[in-house]
Structure 1
Amino acid sequence: MSRVAKNPIPLPKGVEVVVSADHVQVKGAKGSLSQALHRDVEVSNDAGTLRIGVREETTAAWAQAGTARALISNMVKGCSEGFARTLDLVGVGYRVQMKGPVLSIAVGYSHPVEMAVPEGLQVETPTQTQVVVRGADRQRVGQLAANIRAVRPPEPYKGKGIRYSDEVVVRKETKKKK
């Protein structure tokens, strides 16, 4: 039985939730998100709090309920506050800039890597070595940040590359000559 699913989800001011038999739709200041529900999960809106339950008491149904609770909680937080992921570029000559709707990343290749920013996400470059990805959908924010990081992941010897701002890169010692 999932303990995660038993926690109610409080709804902040300005967030509207529409619950149907197989969908949950959340609207807020930062955007609108929708999620399909598993057939064993039911959601009820009780005066400003969402409660997740199951249609029949099985272990698999409670597992689905816990997953649905986490997804809906992320939707509520994303529509009210939004999500952000910050990346840092570490390396001599590594820089990034926005060129309209395209992110241009120069990280030591013979050409800059161009990435289109998907609709619904905002990408900012406060400095030449920092990227901030913002949006309402946690999964899409994390996926775009992972795609940017995958252009040049940090290497363990000098620590050069693109890393999350809170990421710790474990450095290796170089080989020694005898």
Structure 2
Amino acid sequence: MSRIGKQIIKIPSGVSINLTPESIHVKGPKGEIQRSIPFCLSIVQKENISLQILRKDENISSREMHGLFRSLISNMVVGTSKGFTKILELKGIGYKANIDKKVLNLALGFSHPVKIEAPTGIELSVENNTIIKISGIDKEKVGLIAQQIRSIKPPEPYKGKGILYKGEVIQIKVGKSSK
């Protein structure tokens, strides 16, 4: 049995869950998310305070899905109650960011500004022109947008300039030495 899959998901107050045999709909103070359930799994709701994911059979595909869907549903519950955030830092001379309506404008040393539009369900904000805060209820989307922004100018190993996750440490390499 999957160690993650057999853990029970606690439902915080303010979050309501609507179960059907083929989908789960989670609604909370931050928003609502819906996901389809694979045919090999079933979800049991206990007195509106907890959820448990169960396998219908013991074949390989259902064992693979068990822990994955427990994590996905747990992320749905946490996202609708608290939300998720990722913080990016800009390091480098002249690197800055600002928000114009729902468009993130980045000046990263290119000959042109880079513009990124926030998708639905994702909120972008900028602090001190160098810190980008990405927040939303879907952990998958928040991480994907953070990765897409970071991939525009990933940190380079010689000077450490680029877009970094908050708390990320770049191993600085030694440059060439003359003989």
Report the TM-score when normalising by structure 1: 0.98
Work out the percentage of aligned pairs sharing the same amino acid.
Answer: 38
Q: Deviations over 1:111-157 (max 9, x none)?
A: 11000011111111011001000000000000111111011000000
Which residue of 1 is the match for residue 41 of structure 2? 41
One-letter amino acid of the structure 2 residue matched with residue 137 of structure 1: D
Deviation at 1:57, TM superposition (A): 2.2
Deviation at 1:166, TM superposition (A): 2.0
Which residue of 2 is the match for residue 149 of structure 1? 150
Which residue of 1 is the match for residue 160 of structure 2? 159
User: What pairs up with 1:1-178 in 2 under 5 angstroms?
Assistant: 1-47=1-47, 48-178=49-179
Deviation at 1:62, TM superposition (A): 2.1
One-letter amino acid of the structure 1 residue matched with residue 39 of structure 2: R
User: Aligned with 2:104: secondary structure?
Assistant: strand
- Structure 2, unaligned runs of 5 or more: none
One-letter amino acid of the structure 1 residue matched with residue 9 of structure 2: I
Q: Deviations over 1:56-91 (max 9, x none)?
A: 123431221111100000000000000000000000
Report the TM-score when normalising by structure 2: 0.97
Q: Which range is displaced more, 95-104 or 60-69?
A: 60-69
- Structure 1, unaligned runs of 5 or more: none
Distance 2:62 2:119 in 1: 34
One-letter amino acid of the structure 2 residue matched with residue 12 of structure 1: P
Question: Hey, which bits of structure 1, 4+ residues long, moved more than 3 A?
Answer: none
User: Aligned with 2:127: secondary structure?
Assistant: coil
Q: How many residues align?
A: 178
User: Aligned with 1:125: secondary structure?
Assistant: strand
